[in-house]
Structure 1
């Protein structure tokens, strides 16, 4: 496990498309004015634009599931996003926009959220992981990298554990190991237990600094922009998501997750205290931890800084973790 410093806000990953194009050789007088030199400079080539999302609503197990796919290039393993509780897929678009446009991205609304139907009975995390695997089958995807945010991080852990052959790498952002987690402040947890912030946008804006922390404490416009993208399906879907995690924990099988894992944590996260992310990185054999100077929603507020860390992780070819046996000790005599 290792921790690396976060790049400054606005940093981007090294890419040939962002480097200056060499200028053609120019015959010029021995001395040139500043204006002349400036006119001969060649600007960097623009990065290729990402493809727009393709939206589809599919039917699985009697449920309608709303999906969005941003097409990418075949040389990169697609990225499957498991979103936070009550969060519709549009809320991750600012983060996706900061990623390499060659990376194919799959987002979806879990049952009871956004444009997906609300089930008559709740799912548990193993059932939701199975539903995600069936969704990948329907959309004709084999192996993916999974990223889970907050509540979705628990679902991503379950997916990586139950379907290891479908999950090449794992990214966990602002999440925990479930029932054994060190909880946030009671007032924050009480507010998180209610879907009111998604149903009543003005209330969501009011409590955003307290529950999300970080940049939301300093910039009221962030909360307004976030609330404007919310698409609520009502209270029942939110309560079903709470039920999915009731009593759930991954602590007893985290050591079985063999995928290379990137753990991302905010140092001012009122919902998931930092110690929970340290525990995940400690328990997962092949994990590395990055601590970001922000709150719970750093994937959105620090997208331009976090995206290069994620892209570097995705491009690395890392060896699987190896658990070494105890050294052989010859018998005395």
Structure 2
């Protein structure tokens, strides 16, 4: 479908905007791509793109993205095959999604950006950094998913079932339509690609400042002792923090806290809790690479 026909479709099916960000369409490699963007980006503002998780659209990332949209030129796309964007004839795997992210940024005229991902969006960002290291300024990996801890599929389903009651009930209104649209065959194929992706190897190869944010109540992740053991394999770039009271979909459930952490990280400020947060929301730094940018204290 051409950009013209995509716009015609939008005019004929008006819907109430789901975000304070501007809702837009473009066409990338012949596929209609739906995205949200800062409505009035500040000239020269740093670019930040938010990458969604498995089977979902970018809609559940909006609570955090909206809080950062005035400070950063913000993009929240639905990658091809997800959400309101069109599907490709071939099924996308993690490298394909990383290349699709790069092609979307090409289409928007973005040469360099910081990327914020949740769940499957984290391996996509790691793969993006592997192929396009000169195009990524910083990475924020929230609740990374994939790898051995989520295998086999029945184990991952069990982890997701335990996570569901830990998320806000309103998350279902966002997630269920996205999962239904994504479909069972796509879920099975992409799950195999996700669990086979070498996330740890690629993460340790990255040489950009990287913030990893984990939820204390996230059943899709191993315990903090294992995470610290993994993170300690690099002394260069990784900063790992634990958010008390959070589960997997932190971008949706704890947007104020996550936006606060991202601001501190982007400006190399010390990672501290906001005193205005509820008592159950506290941040604990569990790993800092020796060569991670030193916090500014002024």
Trace 1:249-288 onto structure 2 (pairs within 5 A). Answer: 249-275=198-224, 277-278=227-228, 281-284=231-234, 285-288=236-239
Task: Point out where structure 2 has 5 or more consecutive residues left out of the alignment.
Answer: 1-18, 271-288, 293-298
The match for 1:211 is 163
Q: CA RMSD in A?
A: 2.9
Higher RCO, Cα 8 Å, sep 6+: 1
Change (3 A) 1:246 1:273: closer
Q: Deviations over 1:190-243 (max 9, x none)?
A: 3578xxxxxxxxxxxxx4xx22464x3xxxxx22x1122244324144344324
State the alpha-carbon separation in 2 of the partners of residues 187 and 277 from structure 1.
Answer: 23
Question: Which has the larger Rg?
Answer: 1
The match for 1:123 is 92
The match for 1:63 is 31
Change (3 A) 1:55 1:97: closer
Give yes or no for contact 2:46–2:113 (8 Å, CA) kept in 1.
Answer: yes
Trace 1:298-309 onto structure 2 (pairs within 5 A). Answer: 298-309=250-261
Trace 1:170-189 onto structure 2 (pairs within 5 A). Answer: 170-176=139-145, 178-179=146-147, 181-183=148-150, 189=156
Give yes or no for contact 1:147–1:172 (8 Å, CA) kept in 2.
Answer: yes
1:227 partnered with 2:180: no
Give yes or no for contact 1:55–1:68 (8 Å, CA) kept in 2.
Answer: yes
Of Structure 1 and Structure 2, the greater helix share is in: 2
State the alpha-carbon separation in 2 of the partners of residues 310 and 93 from structure 1.
Answer: 14
Change (3 A) 1:250 1:312: same
The match for 2:157 is 190
* Secondary structure at 1:85 match in 2: coil
Shift of 1:136: 0.5
TM-score, with length taken from structure 2:
0.73
Task: Point out where structure 1 has 5 or more consecutive residues left out of the alignment.
Answer: 1-50, 194-206, 217-221, 324-333
Shift of 1:65: 1.7
State the alpha-carbon separation in 2 of the partners of residues 162 and 283 from structure 1.
Answer: 22
Give yes or no for contact 2:63–2:252 (8 Å, CA) kept in 1.
Answer: yes
TM-score, with length taken from structure 1:
0.66
Shift of 1:266: 0.8
State the alpha-carbon separation in 2 of the partners of residues 53 and 113 from structure 1.
Answer: 19
Change (3 A) 1:190 1:184: same
The match for 1:289 is 240
2:124 to 126, 137, 155: 155
State the alpha-carbon separation in 2 of the partners of residues 162 and 101 from structure 1.
Answer: 29
Trace 1:22-61 onto structure 2 (pairs within 5 A). Answer: 52-61=20-29
State the alpha-carbon separation in 2 of the partners of residues 280 and 114 from structure 1.
Answer: 33
1:77 partnered with 2:28: no
The match for 2:262 is 310
Shift of 1:278: 3.3
Change (3 A) 1:277 1:60: farther
